[in-house]
Amino acid sequence: MSSELVNSDLPDAHRTTIRFGEFLAALDLLPSDDLVNALKASKQLGIPIGRTLVVRRQISNEDLGRLLEFHGIYRRGLCDLEHVREAFKITKDKGLNIKDSLEAIGCRVDEIESVRLGELLLAAQLLDVDQLNSALSLQDLSGLPLGRVLCLHFNFASELIDAALGYQSSIRQKQISYADAVDRLKIIPLSLPPTMMKPVIELELRDLLVAGKVCTENDLVTATNFALANNLPLEQVLKTFDYLDPTLVSATLGLSKLVEGGYVTGHEAVNFLLNADLTRKGSADAKEEKSGDVLNLHKFLLACGFLNPQDIKEIARIIVTRKREFGELVGVPVDESTTKEELQKMVFDCFASDKLLSDLLHKMFGSDELVITHARNLVDLLAIHGATVEQAILSFASIRRDVAKFNTISGS
């Protein structure tokens, strides 16, 4: 980030191209280290920097909406950075909207007409209040824009969301009235083919494993019997079969959850697995050669906001106070003679291993095993290009929310 941005405005010729991350840096609202780390996470998963900051709990979803509006106003040359800093503080302290907060500091901006995407879709009766609230909760957890949540999780046609976003922009620029935009949105679904909606079908893991030729029916019978006799998950038993690829078994489980959630069809999932061999081999080779560049469980959980810097500090504290237990978990004896450097290396190795990290989070940090296992499966699925990053992080957000609801109900 250029230091010149922090204390001065960009030349008018460059205002229209300033990115949101640069805009945030110029406002100097966040510690530079936090912003840099968020930018890295944003680039890693390919989600917007603003949503990354929300997921990492560095700004609220409400503040993100305000800052995005200020960003658009600044790019149009309607106010300066100092105006934005002052007006943003007023919106937080006094609860004023963007227009009124700018007027309070003597910056009159008549062109503003604020409208949210969810509000627009709600007014056009294209979704109901329960759907909107559900989508907003997933948005907070996943970091994805509301439009992408609606497309992926609720199977909204992308054409419908694109049209709504276009009308949203036109309303703000006074090119169309709010009422006209709502009326036009209402009739768009009539022009879309019914096949735009992906059917949600039931396809169990065992069906997907066999249909995708990950294993045979005989493998399943043997694994199922052993799993029942020892009270173990089926996939855990399958991973112990030497002739089966444990990464593919894990990825298939993640893929089955995407089918269950309606993100992909059963046909698409089976077709991918039947043609996944070459992709899987290329990913394995890349993982051996460039392990530092691979999206592992640690990076995925950080980027999704499941782990934050404070969590990492707490995990480190737990390891120090329970180092013997940690040594047993990673398979390396630890006692009073273990040096700080040796323990530190063990911690680094643990965070680099998806299996060790998942065990650490579940057994020592108290994370829900179902949530961590699903994250591991999704990371394996991403490694063989079996899902998009958006699908993975939204599926992870969905299971986090469902588990949290279940735990709340169970505890009440």
Q: What are the tens digits of pLDDT across the range 111-134?
A: 566 678 998 999 999 989 999 999
Q: What is the pLDDT of residues 97-110, one digit of tens each?
A: 888 888 888 887 76
Q: How confident is the model at residue 239 (pLDDT cuts 50, 70, 90)?
A: confident
Question: Which pLDDT does position 283 carry in this prediction?
Answer: 42
pLDDT band, residue 200 (cuts 50/70/90): very low
Supply the pTM of this predicted model.
0.78
Whether 186 shows a pLDDT value over 50: the answer reads yes
Is the model's pLDDT at 79 over the cut of 80?
yes
385 burial (CB, 10 Å; 0-12 / 13-18 / 19+) is middle
Instruction: Name the H helices within 263-339.
Output: 266-274, 277-289, 297-303, 309-321, 323-330
Per the structure block, which two tokens stand in for 333? 């004896």
Residue pair 74/81 in contact by the 8 Å Cβ criterion:
yes
Closest listed residue to residue 298, CA positions, set 306, 310, 290, 287: 306
98 vs 226, higher pLDDT: 226
For the ranges 35-49, 121-135, 218-232, 323-337, which has the lowest average pLDDT? 35-49
Question: Percent helix, strand and coil across the chain, each rounded to 5?
Answer: 70, 0, 30
Question: Which of 20-29, 103-112, 304-313, 323-332 has the largest mean confidence?
Answer: 323-332
Q: Where are the domains of the chain?
A: 3-104, 117-196, 205-411
Q: Are 58 and 34 in contact (CB under 8 A)?
A: yes
d(CA 399, CA 49): 23
pLDDT band at 265 (very low <50, low <70, confident <90, very high): confident
Q: What token pair was written down for 54?
A: 């929300």
With a cut of 90, say whether residue 358 has pLDDT above it. yes
Q: DSSP state, 365?
A: S
b/e sequence 18-36, b meaning 16+ C-beta within 10 Å: bebbbbbbbbebeeeeebe
Q: Tell me: the pLDDT tens digits for 284-304?
A: 444 444 445 678 999 899 888
First to last CA, the chain: 48
| Angular region, 355: left φ>0, alpha ψ -120 to 50, beta rest | alpha
